[in-house]
Each structure stands twice: as C-alpha cells, then as structure tokens.
Structure 1
C-alpha cells in the first residue's frame, strides 16, 4: 500500500481516484447491475481514509461523494429542466447544489470514523468505517424527509445472497457489504498478514452461505388469486396537463380498460393517470365506467388528484371504485416536486424549480385499501423507497400496489433505479407488487422480487397477470431496521467509549 500512502503527497491525484471510485458505484445498481462494484468502490474510499492525512482524506471523501451522487442522481436535472421548465443554468446549479450537499455524507463518514478509532488501525477499518457508513445511510433515509436513494444494499437484489433481504432489509445488506469492504481494505493494507485474509474469507463464506440458507419462504399464499390488469397510458409529461389532452387521455385509458371487463378482477391506472380533479371527471367519466366494469365483476383503481373543499386541500390520491368508494391520499410528499417547504415565507419564489403552483396536502398514515375483498397496501411513487413504511403496510396487506408517474425522469437512470427499489420492497416483505406507471417501467413483481412481466418503456400498453396474495411476516416486517441500527449504534458507542477510556491523562 505504499502507493496509496504516497498519495498523501499528491492530494489532487487522491481526489481524482476518489472521484472515479465514487462515480463507478452507481454502475452497481440498475440498469447495469455490476454488483461487485458495491464492494470494491467503498474499499477505495476506506483505504484513502486510512492512508491520507485528515485534510486530504476529507477532500478525497467529498470528491468520492461528488462522483457517487453526481452520476447516481443526475436525473434530478432532467426533472427540473426538461419537465419542470427551469432554465438550463438554474437547473444545473440546483442539481449541482443537491449533489454537493449529498457529497457531505462521505465527508462525515471519514471524519466520524477518524474520531472513533485511530486511522488505519484494524478497529478503524473493520468497525468504524463500516458502522458509520450504515448509520449515515439510515440517517439519509429520514433526515429532511429522507432521501434513501442508492443505498449500498440495493445492488445485491439479483445475487445468490439476496436471502438476507427478508431478514435484515436493505440496511442489513449494506452492513454486510460495508463490513466486507472494511475487512478487504484492512487485508490490502497488510497483505503479508494471513490473519486478516482469513477473516475476510470467513466473512465472505458466511455471507454467501447465510444468504443461501435464508433463501426460503417466510410467508404463505392466502385467499384466491386475483387477476389484475394495469394500463400504461404513456402520456408525455410535456403534454399531460394541457387541457386539450384531458379527453384524449380519458379515452385512451377507457379504451385500454374495457377489454379487461369481466376478465380481470381489478384494473389499475397509474399515479395522476387522470390530469384533472376527481370531482371534474367523476360524473361524466369515472363513475359510469366504474359502474359498467363492476357490473361484470371488475373493480377500477385510479390515480388522480382529489380536491377536498371542506379542508381546501389538494391530495395526490389513488381511488378504488368498489362496492364502496375508498381513497388513499399520499402521505410522504416530495419536497419541491409536490410542495414547497416554508411556502408561507417563500411564496412562489421556488416554483421555477418545478414545484406546483398549489401544494399537495399530506394525507394520513397509509392503511390498506380493500380491493375485491382483499387488503391491499398502496404506495404512490416515491413512497416505495421507504422500507419501514412498506413493511408496516404489509403487516395488514396481502399484496401491494405502487403507482407512479416516472415520466418526470425521461430517459435517465431513475426509472430503472425506482423499479429496483420496488422489487426490493417486495422481497423484504414477501408480498407480490403491481407497479403501474404512466410511461414505464410498469411491472408485475413476484413476492420474491422477481419480475413476472414488465411493459416496454415509453409505450402505450396494458397487461394482466394473476396475483396471489400472501399472509405471514418476514423477520424484517416484524423487526424493521431496529436490529441493524441498534447494532451499528452499539458498535459506534463502544468505539467512542474505548477511545475515551484510552485517551492520555
């Protein structure tokens, strides 16, 4: 590791190496799925944190974060400029500011680990860096409403050791990868020490064998399978909300729905499939269509905005037209996409970033809808990235629905990353999921996270599949993130206590 140590005299070269390593990490996720990079990329950061002086290590960590998030969330620019209407310069500056802020997390990682253990020591690489990595992923999942995007564990969805997913969730998978990365970094710093290589090999075997052994079914089929259809309307975001396209949109969805009448038990339309308030299209369009479908045994579930006049509130909703009408109002709203934080102070100043002129209102905590007599957990768009939320919902649900309008992401990486997270949620809780989107990627996801069928992106399409509901709880659905976060915080507290105990004087 003499070469890495020499980088301390060349901080710009170290920063460049960190930037490249960080930019490589998003390649571990969908659509490419080069999952070994989820182990190798953190190894580079850990080695730099161990070898470089404090200031150079912080600078390298920031460059790592710029590469990591700059490549991984570049789709933010597409949303703000191409579909939000912000000028290119403002969209670029906003995206850059977002990336630079996220890049502070690796800096916090390196600095916190340095304070917990002596840099370069076994405790620093084996314990401090892995523990703080996972703690920061957990923090990023809820701080400022949360941005749990590109968590390390997501990369392992299609690997043989995904059996860990329903036990400890995505944070547990991140913990395994971070621990292996720390051990590998420690072994690389001491290549002549067979002890470190032996421990790394043992952990790798335990990781693989454990994932294989845990790859079992924790839940069981329940009730009769339902035949579920979905319609992908493929209305471009640039025309979706234009008044002249309202009737063509309704006609498109109606015409794609009617062939499923009497054949499917349920037909699902995506998030804001109807670009109008419920009360504006209910009497002339939705109620007549729902009544006609229900007469043949088919229920309709529609994504559209709902205006509640008694509260003067606008909701992003999913409405089920069954024997009794039910509605789920989105609970976890996206800042600047669905509302402007501190609007009372800022007014319309930030609407240029794509925020709505009238904010959506946060709905109550999610509860299942009843569809054809079965409890169904619903998540609208971004809500599917919150593992604990979906797990709580799955406790009372037999299957899941995720509706989204990923047209905001254009041809970027985001629709693929979004689908990967939805698949992970299904695997964590072992519930099948129907994912209906406006422009793709729409998919029927099995309870093991596999894709039974997916519709082509940017195409008008529909499909139907049998969906078998399930009962029972996975360990993750019972425990949520408690065991992983508790262990990580315990390790960090132990390291901090030991260092305090050993301090001079």
Structure 2
C-alpha cells in the first residue's frame, strides 16, 4: 500500500498556477457559508479539504497555496467592496475591479503569512495540520486590529443563524472561528491508512459530526431558556430608503427628509424614534428651526444620525433630541473607515485635492473619543451607540465603563449594494447581540433595519429598499455573558499553547 502519510517531494520553487487553482476553488467554496448563501457545510468541507492539502505541502510552498485559498475566500466574501465605486460609476467605476483585487489579495496575505509561519514549526504533516488550523483562527483575530482592523468575513461567522452561534456568548466571534477550524481539522487529524484515502477520513469525519451535533444541541438548550420580559418601552425605527446616488441631491434630500418626518409622525405609541446614519443632509449646527419640526413629528425623544461641525473638524454623529427640541447627549463615531471617512495624513492630502470617499463635509471626519454608554430618560434605559461598521468590532462592546441595557446601530448600508454586504453586516450585528447578551436595534438607511434580541434572533425587520417603520418593544438584556467578562483571552491562550507545544516538541 502506498504511504499516504509521506510528504510529496517537490523542488524548492514556487508552485505553478495549475497547482494552486484547487486551493483558489476551495476558498471560493468555503465563502459560500457566509451571507447571502449561508451554506455552512460548504465552509466546513472546503476548509477541511484545504487543511489536508496544506498539511501535505512542503513548508516553502504552503504560502502560495494559502494565498490562493485566501484570495478565493475574500474575493467572494468581500465582493460587495465594488459597490461604493458604482454609486458614481462615471467617476469611480474604473476603480471597482482594482478595489476587489486588492481587497482579495490583502485579505489573502492575512491567511498566507500566519499559515506559512505556522507550517514551518512542525516537521510532521499532522502537526502542520494543527498549526495551520490555529493560524487560520489567529488570522481572524489579527484582522480585527492591524491597520485599524477589518474583522469582516471571519470563518466563524458562517454559524450565525444556527444554534452553534450561541457559543459566542462564552467564546465570542474568535471562539466561533476556533470551533470552525477544529471541526474542519478533525478529518485530517484522525486520518488513518485504511486502504483508500477517503476511507481514512472516516474516523475524523465521525468526530467532526459529533462535535458539530454537540455544539448544535448546546445552542438549542440555550435558546430553549426563556428571555426576560420585554421592557415597557416602545421604540420606532424609521427607514426612509434614501438611495446613495440620490441621498445628497438637493431635490431628493428634501423628499427623504419629508419621509423621515411622515414616518415618525404616524400615529401609535412610541417612546423613542430612531433615524439612521447621516439621515439628513444638513449639519447639526445648521438645523436651526428644523429641530422643533423634527421633535414635533417624532412626538418623543429622537435619536438621529447627523453630521456636525466643531471648528474646522467634522464628525459623523448620533444626537439625542428631546421632546422640547433641546439637544441631549451626542456621540461621535470614533472607528472611522480608512479612505472612506478619512484619509491617512488627511491634512496633507487635502492640499493636493484628495479627500475621503464617503465624507460629505470637509475632507474627512475626525474621530470621537471612543466607545460610550449614553444616558436615556425615565422610559428609555442607557444604551451604547454604534455607527455603521463600528458594530463589526467585538472589542468595542467591552470598552465602555458602564454596561448599557441595549445596543443601537445606526448605519447607511446603501454603500454596500444589495447582494451580500448588507446581509453580512446584519449578521454581524446579530453576533454582537449574542456576545454581549444585549438586544440590538438597527436603523439602516435603505435596509436592513431590525430589532434583534439577546439571542441574536430577528424579531422584526424592514428589508432592502423598503420604506417604512418598525414599532417594537425593547427586549430586555440577559446577565453579563462570560465573553464580556473574559473576552478573547481563553481562545488566545489556547492558540499560544498550541504553538508553544509545537515549538517545544520541535526542539526536543
């Protein structure tokens, strides 16, 4: 019988295109686990096959195979990145394919470099498989921090919408990535020479199915526990459906403003009205006589996304407007989108005419002071605001001094098109609710607005392109989760133990 545990020998040269095409295909297939496809089984199978392939490559070639796989993963999962360039295609359309290529290759490097380094730590293919799986998880964590972070399309996000996602209450998003990598690893880890290669995967496949089933059962057990009764607070979320290419048009912006007022004024009890990110086309300082009109339409406190100015600086903000049209707390977005809301070395770049892509005032926004818990009133409890993609960063949920009672995400997903971006963004909001044990209310300009309970379930929503409102009771919070108390420390310690054990064995 042929020795299938021996590594194939290749000269120390870069593998050819034909050799890495299967890895590219596996990356594409793995991305089918993310929205809008949500075929999580495709992710597990593809990552399992990829782990097997990479563990059996010579370490010097692993980088190129992992780079190809990462390119496939990010090309499909981040394909929405072309949409902002198509808002004004006559100006920016030519940049779209280059943006997708750079995003795919840049994300792929976050796979290739850690996987290549991890593969070099072990002289055995089985040890390499373990290290490769751990490196994939480490990659997801690193992407949340390096270059201001972009933890989009983490492999653990494929479980959102399934009972397994409930594990995030204990281990967070990175812990879900660890579970995904572990399930995918098991067929390779327990491979045995049973006559044919596929038969050899049977023990590990059984173990992977058992682990998946056990996690699924634990998630169902958590979901079977009743939530606390809803609060006696009715919140109205308004969705005006302001298309991005019309949003700042002087004629259309008036139409959208009227929609906001009319939807806010529709009769029915509401204790708070929420408008989405940058809901209006004027600055807070220039609102003047419009504030009483907005307050009268809401007939309740109004929380609105609006731009504001402070001297020469501009901010993407959320402002609380009281019933008497006076201003309450204001939150300034602090985690800005590079090149979208600000340009690195912006003051210098502005001198040569380069400004932020999405900023409508000045040459870009300035960051606010950081995560905050804003006070409510006698009916609405304290809440933590998150503007747009701030909600994809788990770490911001653990950065406030006082735990809020609920989370508010105001966003303008019109930038993301209608295919995958808004759906992936919504699912990450669901994951934040599970991690924190807090309900999350989401006001999106063009959709998807939603009320999400602490289990991550969507109670009510407005789809893409819909004009309307949601009136819903505010769900109550769960007790502080294990993840909120301990964060990613347990997962990172486990990864450190895996790599540390490998290094000790290598030296022995």
Q: TM-score, normalised by structure 2?
A: 0.89
Following the alignment from structure 2 to structure 1, what is the Cα–Cα distance between the partners of residues 123 and 250?
63
Change (3 A) 1:249 1:199: closer
CA RMSD between the two structures = 2.9
1:435 is aligned, of 421, 437, 442, to: 442
Q: Say whether the 8 Å CA contact 1:164–1:211 is kept in structure 2.
A: no
Tell me what 2:301 maps to. 299
- Are 2:466 and 1:463 aligned? no
Tell me what 1:272 maps to. 278
Q: CA deviation at 1:138?
A: 0.5
Tell me what 1:53 maps to. 58
Q: What are the equivalent positions in structure 2 for 1:360-371 lying under 5 Å apart?
A: 360-371=365-376
Following the alignment from structure 1 to structure 2, what is the Cα–Cα distance between the partners of residues 160 and 352?
40
Change (3 A) 1:346 1:98: farther
Change (3 A) 1:418 1:460: same
Gap regions ≥5 residues in structure 1:
none
Q: What are the equivalent positions in structure 2 for 1:96-495 lying under 5 Å apart?
A: 96-120=101-125, 122-125=126-129, 127-188=130-191, 190-191=193-194, 198=203, 201-202=206-207, 204-213=209-218, 215-216=221-222, 221=228, 224-260=231-267, 263-281=269-287, 283-290=288-295, 293-294=298-299, 298-309=300-311, 312-322=312-322, 325-347=328-350, 348=352, 350-351=354-355, 357-373=362-378, 374-393=381-400, 396-495=403-502
Following the alignment from structure 1 to structure 2, what is the Cα–Cα distance between the partners of residues 413 and 422?
15
Q: CA deviation at 1:27?
A: 1.1
Q: CA deviation at 1:202?
A: 4.2
Change (3 A) 1:19 1:343: same
Q: CA deviation at 1:397?
A: 1.1
3-state SS of 2:344 partner: coil
| Number of residues of Structure 1 aligned to a counterpart in Structure 2 | 492
Question: Which digits, 9 at most, give the CA deviation of each residue in 1:170-207, with x for residues without a partner?
Answer: 11111011112122123457456999854664464345
Q: Say whether the 8 Å CA contact 1:264–1:464 is kept in structure 2.
A: yes
Question: Which digits, 9 at most, give the CA deviation of each residue in 1:392-423, with x for residues without a partner?
Answer: 45961111111100001122310010001001
1:62 is aligned, of 47, 51, 67, to: 67
Following the alignment from structure 2 to structure 1, what is the Cα–Cα distance between the partners of residues 89 and 310?
26
Following the alignment from structure 1 to structure 2, what is the Cα–Cα distance between the partners of residues 306 and 321?
14
Q: CA deviation at 1:66?
A: 1.3
Q: CA deviation at 1:89?
A: 2.8
Tell me what 2:47 maps to. 42
Tell me what 1:25 maps to. 30
Q: CA deviation at 1:442?
A: 1.0
Q: CA deviation at 1:20?
A: 0.9
Larger mean Cα displacement after TM superposition, 218-227 or 50-59:
218-227
Following the alignment from structure 2 to structure 1, what is the Cα–Cα distance between the partners of residues 316 and 136?
34
Q: Say whether the 8 Å CA contact 1:381–1:404 is kept in structure 2.
A: yes
Question: Which digits, 9 at most, give the CA deviation of each residue in 1:297-355, with x for residues without a partner?
Answer: x211111101123xx32111111113761111111111011000122443356548556
Tell me what 2:78 maps to. 73
Change (3 A) 1:230 1:407: same
Larger mean Cα displacement after TM superposition, 354-363 or 326-335:
354-363
Larger mean Cα displacement after TM superposition, 225-234 or 41-50:
41-50
Q: Say whether the 8 Å CA contact 1:395–1:477 is kept in structure 2.
A: no
Larger mean Cα displacement after TM superposition, 83-92 or 437-446:
83-92
3-state SS of 2:369 partner: coil
Question: Which digits, 9 at most, give the CA deviation of each residue in 1:224-283, with x for residues without a partner?
Answer: 3311111111111111112333332221110111114x61111100000112101222x2
Larger mean Cα displacement after TM superposition, 357-366 or 183-192:
183-192
Q: Say whether the 8 Å CA contact 1:317–1:328 is kept in structure 2.
A: yes
Q: CA deviation at 1:85?
A: 6.3
Following the alignment from structure 1 to structure 2, what is the Cα–Cα distance between the partners of residues 23 and 380?
30
3-state SS of 1:14 partner: helix
Following the alignment from structure 1 to structure 2, what is the Cα–Cα distance between the partners of residues 244 and 279?
21
Q: Say whether the 8 Å CA contact 1:91–1:353 is kept in structure 2.
A: no
